[in-house]
Amino acid sequence: MMEFMREIFEWLVLAALAGLLILSIRVLWLSRSIKQYFVNRKYKVETLYEHDPLHQEETYAIRIFNNNVSDTRIVAVGYFYKDRTIDYYASYLKQIGSSPTSRVVIPSREAIKVTVDGTSLMEAIEVANAGKRRIKTLRCFVTDVFGMTTTIKARKLKKIIKRHKKEKTMGLKQAKKTRIKAAKKERKALRRQRRKDRLNRFKNRCHRALVKVKTSLRKSKRGM
């Protein structure tokens, strides 16, 4: 009887431990969910890139998700590169048809998508690089009405820009080679034309000399 009670007690202890473990996991999951819901970081920011191979069009964008429990207003959005701020807030106001003095409101648990002009971004980076080839750290940012700024590293976009820069460099090199070949071809054609002109001038001189000789011979025959 005592052995039976001990076995039951052991099973009860194991069941209690298992229940306690399950309860702990459940509490941990709930606490993480609550923490994520009331997280201090207001925004989840990510960079987007789309390529349309049919029309050969590229689209850059910044997606901002309001991670807060209340609506928020933003006053700036764009990229940090070196000591420069590349702001697309005014551009976004034009995209949505708002006045330049408007404030963009992001409802709780919703997101907005800011389309970025890739050409202006590349130009701003090239100006900041001042002729240097290496692409430094590129950060995407969003600033709210209280001046709090959320930033992330735009690693994917940096890779795309590096690839485009490499393709552009290769294209410039190829264009330079094409120009050099065209210049060589033009110089060869010019040299051939000059040789041809010299030969024609020589033939003309010979022809005129021959005509003079023939004329002189005819005159001398008449005089005889």
DSSP character string of 72-101? EEEEEEEEEETTEEEE-HHHHHHHTT--TT
What does the pLDDT average to over 27-49?
Answer: 70
Question: Per the domain annotation, does 200 fall within a domain?
Answer: no
Q: Is the pLDDT of residue 1 over 60?
A: no
CA–CA distance, 105 with 116 (Å, rounded to integer): 19
Q: Are residues 15 and 33 in the same domain?
A: yes
Look at 162 and 10; give whichever has higher pLDDT.
162
Question: Per the domain annotation, does 110 fall within a domain?
Answer: yes
Q: Is the pLDDT of residue 142 over 60?
A: yes
Question: Per the domain annotation, does 216 fall within a domain?
Answer: no
Q: Are residues 4 and 94 in the same domain?
A: no
Q: Are residues 96 and 74 in the same domain?
A: yes
What is the domain count for the chain?
2
Question: Per the domain annotation, does 52 fall within a domain?
Answer: yes
Q: Are residues 20 and 33 in the same domain?
A: yes
Domain housing 81: 43-153
Q: Is the pLDDT of residue 105 over 90?
A: yes
What does the pLDDT average to over 69-80?
Answer: 92
Q: Is the pLDDT of residue 9 over 80?
A: no
Contacts of 212 (CB under 8 A, 6+ apart): none
Helix (H, G, I), strand (E, B) or coil at 39: coil
Question: Per the domain annotation, does 166 fall within a domain?
Answer: no
- Report whether 66 contacts 111 (CB < 8 A): yes
Determine the pLDDT at residue 41. 63
- Report whether 72 contacts 138 (CB < 8 A): no
Q: Are residues 51 and 107 in the same domain?
A: yes
pLDDT tens across 77-91, in order?
999 999 899 999 999
CA–CA distance, 89 with 76 (Å, rounded to integer): 5
Q: Is the pLDDT of residue 180 over 80?
A: no
What does the pLDDT average to over 87-101?
Answer: 91
